[in-house]
Amino acid sequence: MQNHLIVLDLDGTLLTNDKAIAATTKETILKAKEAGHHVMIATGRPFRSSVPFYKELGLITPIVNFNGAFVHHPLNSRWETFHRPIDLSVVHDVVSSVHTYQYENLLAEIKDDVYIHREDEWMAPLYTMGDPLVRIGDLRETLPADPTSLLISADEQHVPAIRIHLEDVHAEVIEHRRWGAPFPLIEIVRKGLNKAVGIDLVAKEFGIPRERIIAFGDEDNDLEMLEYAGVGVAMGNAIDSVKQIANEVTLSNEENGIAVVLQERLKL
């Protein structure tokens, strides 16, 4: 069988609800690697909170972080890093404009450095993993350079109104996505970026056509990735829009949905 590129989202996809890789799923992925297939991660997370799973699976591929805004090869410094941050002036405009809406906090990241608008125990798990540099204060004053991404924390009921505002006012310069439970967050990256952009870079590097890409996801930041892949797979726990565009729907992240598809399609 020809080599495939297997692309894994993390939260709600590769990871169980306890943020672990199920034994059967891990065993199947390792078998896929042994059979000569390439396995990579594509996530909205920063690298610092993705690297434990990258290491657990023994990956040797590039990784897509921040929904395509940062793509690099952790083990090969000669691989050309792709980093497309948001213009700082745009971030200042967004921060100023959302003050008219009900939100809880703002968090920006420059690769693995964190800048948070105000101290926030609820958001701590998002910025403490990996022991990054953390600065607290008004982002319009503390951000020293263009950030890779911007997160807006808000109560679930206020998220739609903020997203409508972002679409109406800033749609020409940013992309915005909603995170799923347990964090009702809006993530913002530079316009034109998504996971498919990063996957395309890696697929071309490996010489793998789209028809031999199998991608797994569950949330709206996976839509472009599943559409781009030859086989886009929605998890059983995925939101409806993801299931509607996917080529197939597998079992949930709690039921080894990834393993089921790989075992069948790759004859593992």
Confidence of residue 121 (pLDDT cuts 50, 70, 90): confident
Q: Which domains does the chain have, with CATH numbers?
A: 5-82+193-265 (3.40.50.1000), 88-190 (3.30.1240.10)
Give the position of tokens 């004053």: 141
Structural element, H or E, at residue 233: strand 231-234
Q: How far is CA 247 from CA 128, 203, 229, 231, 242, in A?
A: 37, 19, 9, 6, 10
Read off the pLDDT of residues 158-192 as tens digits, 9 standing for 90 and up.
888 888 888 988 888 999 888 765 666 889 999 99
Q: In whole angstroms, give the CA distance from residue 262 to residue 31.
A: 10
Q: In whole angstroms, give the CA distance from residue 225 to residue 184.
A: 22
Question: Would you say 8 and 65 are in contact if contact means Cβ atoms under 8 Å apart?
Answer: no
pTM attached to this predicted model: 0.93
Any bridge partners for residue 5, and if so which? 38, 213
Q: Of the residues 9, 11, 112, 222, which is catalytic?
A: 9
Most confident of the ranges 90-99, 114-123, 155-164, 239-248: 239-248
The pLDDT of residue 264 is 96
Q: In whole angstroms, give the CA distance from residue 136 to residue 82.
A: 27
The pLDDT of residue 182 is 61
Per-residue pLDDT at 6 exceeds 70: yes
- The DSSP symbol for 69 reads T
Per-residue pLDDT at 97 exceeds 70: yes
Average pLDDT, the chain: 93
The gap from C-alpha 100 to its chain's centroid, in whole angstroms, comes to 28
Read off the pLDDT of residues 203-234 as tens digits, 9 standing for 90 and up.
999 999 999 999 999 998 999 999 999 999 99
Residue 209, preceding peptide bond in cis (omega within 30° of 0): no
Single out the residue of 88, 85, 51, 53 nearest to residue 70, CA to CA.
85
Q: Rg for the chain (alpha carbons), in Å?
A: 18
Percent with pLDDT over 90 in the chain: 76
Tokens of 109: 């990241």
Q: Is 9 a catalytic residue?
A: yes
Q: In whole angstroms, give the CA distance from residue 21 to residue 72.
A: 23
